[in-house]
């Protein structure tokens, strides 16, 4: 009996071990995406009457970010419900479809297998409610109008209603979305002329209805084209099985127009430096994306950082700010205005005696924007964090220091913490490192009287000692400086490099704004030019530099954005492709041919 139970136990252990299958180690990773084996209806089917669409795959699949990736063209009022059942994906449409219309359901990379998450790239399903599937197509690229960088995730829309107001009022009849290179393709289009529009749709309603949404448009209508289909695909199927199609689209060969070749069409522009190889990846139309200038002016915030100073921040750069005293109690004049470089912040330095509050009417360019009633004194600090009041002092910031040599071509300058009433050069001593006195004169360099500099430069490669006695500078509030001592040196010409730009600009009327930029596209220098020529940039620190040209069409000295209703495109921008490296005591020369 004991032997019988022992044999039974051993037999059970044997079968249990056989039932636990261990995955084999090693071997190649599965990188094959799921394949469509059939669908109901078939892909590219005509006479579709709506209802459920079911697509069957050769393995179990999953959906990732389907709500973000699924794009239906023409767009539907209600997004289809998408779900998984077994090895199939089911779309349940909630809308009544338009008659005689081709619908394209673009899944992006949302469908993948469940084992290795291999997605089906750019998967799409097409049906038509009419007797045939439309087969025309259109493609292109969307770039930022100023930086020329690709604009990704942007909706590109087509309208058969050609009125100017259509992007504000109607959803498009066709749409696509740009990829990370800014490229787009709209397929299965009907013959005709269309308005082409691009939108950074912040509220996802396919309407241009927010002032901060970026847009792009063409000046002319577009016409989709028929392109010969590519060579016939291999019909032997997967592993010789003709029941498994190789195109991954449900067994049907896509109709003509699915993969159009390079199209050089009206409205296409080439960015400067674009090579032929680059342009071959960009077919059709290039759209330049911009944000329209905001013209609704108002004061968005105010602050009192110190006694006698009020900062006003404006919604958009201002033209000409004026004030009207509504209290009729302010002396005249009552303030010194200081504008920020971007003309969106205004500092009001109030002349003594400073008032406790301001009640003023603000106008920009003669148009009243705000009525402000604000405190003119900083808020008192209380509690543990409060700082005991001390006698105020006037601070002076120098443009040179022991660790930051003064460029030999710049003048020694000072910036005061408040507008100055007077300065006394006799309270200042400037000596060379050899203790030789340096004669100098000084003057203000701005209208606010906060900036003051020596009248001449100090020479090359020399050391200096500066001493400023108390009372050398006095601000408009009667506050003076403490003792200031500084040691600094000036640089030498051999510390810098030089760039010579041989510029050739194609036919086109100036002026142009030529800018020297750094690796982050920040403007370092700029000059107004009329056209081709040799332009020299001197005294450049060792670094990488580039160039940017703005075609200043309205001759106002800066880049202007576009306006859709006024049919104004943003001013053209051209970038030198690549960066130019400079070294100390080195001269670099570069040629740039700009084709307008």
Residue 556 CB partners (closer than 8 Å, separation 6+) = none
Please check whether residues 503 and 577 belong to one and the same domain: yes
Residue 202 CB partners (closer than 8 Å, separation 6+) = 210, 212, 213
Residue 101 is part of a domain; what is its CATH number? Answer: 2.60.40.1220
CB atoms within 10 A of CB 123: 22
Residue 315 is part of a domain; what is its CATH number? Answer: 2.60.40
Residue 98 CB partners (closer than 8 Å, separation 6+) = 74, 129
Q: Residue 168: in which H helix or E strand, if any?
A: helix 166-169
Distance, in Å, from the CA atom of 431 to the CA atom of 436, rounded to the nearest integer, reads 5
**25, 255, 222: which is closest to 139 by C-alpha?**
222
User: What percent of the residues of the chain are helix, what percent strand, and what percent coil, each to the nearest 5?
Assistant: 5, 40, 55
Please check whether residues 470 and 568 belong to one and the same domain: no
Residue 401: inside a domain, yes or no?
Answer: yes
What range does the domain containing 563 cover? 496-594
Residue 546 is part of a domain; what is its CATH number? Answer: 2.60.40.10
Pairing assessment for the beta strands 497-505 and 587-594 based on DSSP bridges? parallel
**164, 170, 176: which is closest to 224 by C-alpha?**
176
The pLDDT tens digits along the chain (596 residues) read 444 444 444 444 444 444 444 445 555 677 889 999 999 999 999 999 888 999 999 999 999 989 888 889 888 888 899 999 989 999 999 889 999 999 999 898 899 999 889 999 888 899 999 999 999 999 999 999 999 999 999 999 999 999 999 999 998 989 888 999 999 999 999 999 999 999 999 998 889 999 899 999 999 999 999 876 655 545 444 343 333 332 333 333 343 333 333 333 333 333 433 332 333 333 489 999 999 998 889 999 999 998 889 999 999 899 899 999 999 999 889 999 999 988 999 999 999 988 889 999 999 999 999 999 998 888 766 556 545 455 688 999 999 988 888 999 999 999 999 999 999 999 999 999 999 999 999 999 999 999 999 999 999 999 999 999 999 999 999 999 999 999 999 999 999 999 999 999 987 788 999 999 999 999 999 999 999 999 999 999 999 999 999 999 999 999 999 999 999 999 999 999 889 999 999 999 999 999 88
Please check whether residues 306 and 283 belong to one and the same domain: no
Please check whether residues 557 and 520 belong to one and the same domain: yes
Residue 26: inside a domain, yes or no?
Answer: no
Residue 409 is part of a domain; what is its CATH number? Answer: 2.60.40.3710
**How many independent structural domains does the chain possess?**
5
| pLDDT at residue number 553 | 95
Q: Residue 167: in which H helix or E strand, if any?
A: helix 166-169
Distance, in Å, from the CA atom of 305 to the CA atom of 350, rounded to the nearest integer, reads 13
Please check whether residues 190 and 280 belong to one and the same domain: yes
Final residue of a structural domain among 109, 128, 147: 128
Residue 10: inside a domain, yes or no?
Answer: no
**Bridge partners of residue 196, in order along the sequence:** 158
Residue 177: inside a domain, yes or no?
Answer: yes
Please check whether residues 480 and 502 belong to one and the same domain: no
Distance, in Å, from the CA atom of 167 to the CA atom of 221, rounded to the nearest integer, reads 14
**In three state form, how does the secondary structure of 313-376 look?**
EECCCCCCEEEEECCCCCCCCCEEEEECCCCCEEEEEECCCCCCEEEEEEEECCEEEEEEEEEC
Please check whether residues 190 and 141 belong to one and the same domain: yes
Please check whether residues 270 and 181 belong to one and the same domain: yes
Residue 30: inside a domain, yes or no?
Answer: no
Q: Which two tokens stand for residue 129?
A: 């409610």
Distance, in Å, from the CA atom of 316 to the CA atom of 295, rounded to the nearest integer, reads 7
Phi, psi of 534 (to 5 degrees): -105, 120
**Bridge partners of residue 198, in order along the sequence:** 156, 216
Please check whether residues 509 and 463 belong to one and the same domain: no
Q: Which two tokens stand for residue 436?
A: 């030789």
| pLDDT at residue number 243 | 32
**230, 225, 231: which is closest to 259 by C-alpha?**
230
Please check whether residues 106 and 47 belong to one and the same domain: yes
Please check whether residues 167 and 266 belong to one and the same domain: yes
Residue 386: inside a domain, yes or no?
Answer: no
Residue 34: inside a domain, yes or no?
Answer: no
Q: Which two tokens stand for residue 66?
A: 């389907």
Instruction: Evaluate the omega torsion of the peptide bond into residue 74 and state whether it is cis, within 30 degrees of 0.
Output: yes
Please check whether residues 145 and 285 belong to one and the same domain: yes
CB atoms within 10 A of CB 455: 9
Residue 99: inside a domain, yes or no?
Answer: yes
Distance, in Å, from the CA atom of 580 to the CA atom of 524, rounded to the nearest integer, reads 14
């Amino acid at each position: 009996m004991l032997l019988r139970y022992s044999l039974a136990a051993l037999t059970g252990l044997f079968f249990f071990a056989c039932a636990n299958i261990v995955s084999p180690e090693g071997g190649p990773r599965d990188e094959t995406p799921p394949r469509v084996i059939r669908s109901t209806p078939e892909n590219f089917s005509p006479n579709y009457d709506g209802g459920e669409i079911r697509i069957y795959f050769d393995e179990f699949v999953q959906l990732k970010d389907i709500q973000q990736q699924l794009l239906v063209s023409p767009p539907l009022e209600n997004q289809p419900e998408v779900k998984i059942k077994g090895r199939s994906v089911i779309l349940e449409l909630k809308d009544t479809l338009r008659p005689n219309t081709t619908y394209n359901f673009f899944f992006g990379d949302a469908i993948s297998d469940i084992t290795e998450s291999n997605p089906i790239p750019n998967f799409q399903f097409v049906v038509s409610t009419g007797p045939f599937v439309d087969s025309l197509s259109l493609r292109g690229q969307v770039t930022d109008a100023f930086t020329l960088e690709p604009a990704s995730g942007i909706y590109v829309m087509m309208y058969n209603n050609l009125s100017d107001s259509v992007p504000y009022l109607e959803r498009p009849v066709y749409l696509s979305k740009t990829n990370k290179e800014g490229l787009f393709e709209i397929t299965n289009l009907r013959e005709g002329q269309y308005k082409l529009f691009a939108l950074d749709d912040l509220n996802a309603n396919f309407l241009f209805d927010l002032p901060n949404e970026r847009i792009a448009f063409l000046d002319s209508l577009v016409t989709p084209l028929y392109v010969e289909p590519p060579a016939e695909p291999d019909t032997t199927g997967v592993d010789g099985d003709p029941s498994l199609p190789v195109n991954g689209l449900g067994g049907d060969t896509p109709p003509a127009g699915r993969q159009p070749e390079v199209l050089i069409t009206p409205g296409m522009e080439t960015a400067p430096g674009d090579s032929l190889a680059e342009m071959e990846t960009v077919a059709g139309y290039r759209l330049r994306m911009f944000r329209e200038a905001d013209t609704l002016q108002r004061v968005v915030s105010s602050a009192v950082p110190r006694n006698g100073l009020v900062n006003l921040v404006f919604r958009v750069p201002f033209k000409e700010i004026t004030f009207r005293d509504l209290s009729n109690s302010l002396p005249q004049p009552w303030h010194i205005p200081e504008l920020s470089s971007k003309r969106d912040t205004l500092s009001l330095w109030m002349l003594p005696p400073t008032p406790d509050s301001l009640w003023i009417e603000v106008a920009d360019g003669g148009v009243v924007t705000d009525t402000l009633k604000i405190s003119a004194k900083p808020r008192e600090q209380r509690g543990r964090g409060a700082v005991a009041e001390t006698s105020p002092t006037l601070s002076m910031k120098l443009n040179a220091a022991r660790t930051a040599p003064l460029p030999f071509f710049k003048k020694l300058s000072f910036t005061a913490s408040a507008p100055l009433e007077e300065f006394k050069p006799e309270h200042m001593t400037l000596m060379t490192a050899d203790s030789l006195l340096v004669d100098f004169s000084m003057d203000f360099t701005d209208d606010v009287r906060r900036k003051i500099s020596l009248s001449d430069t100090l020479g090359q490669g020399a050391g200096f000692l500066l001493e400023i006695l108390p009372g050398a500078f006095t601000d408009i509030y009667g506050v003076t400086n403490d003792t200031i001592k500084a040691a600094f040196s000036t640089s030498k010409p051999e510390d810098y490099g030089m760039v010579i730009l041989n510029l050739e600009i194609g036919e086109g009327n100036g002026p142009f704004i030529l800018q020297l930029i750094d690796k982050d596209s920040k403007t370092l220098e700029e000059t107004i030019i009329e056209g081709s020529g040799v332009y020299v940039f001197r005294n450049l620190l060792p670094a990488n530099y580039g160039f940017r040209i703005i075609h200043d069409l309205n001759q106002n000295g800066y880049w202007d954005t576009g306006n859709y209703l006024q049919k104004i495109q943003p001013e053209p921008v051209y970038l030198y492709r690549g960066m130019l490296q400079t070294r100390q005591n080195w001269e670099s020369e570069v040629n740039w041919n700009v084709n307008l």
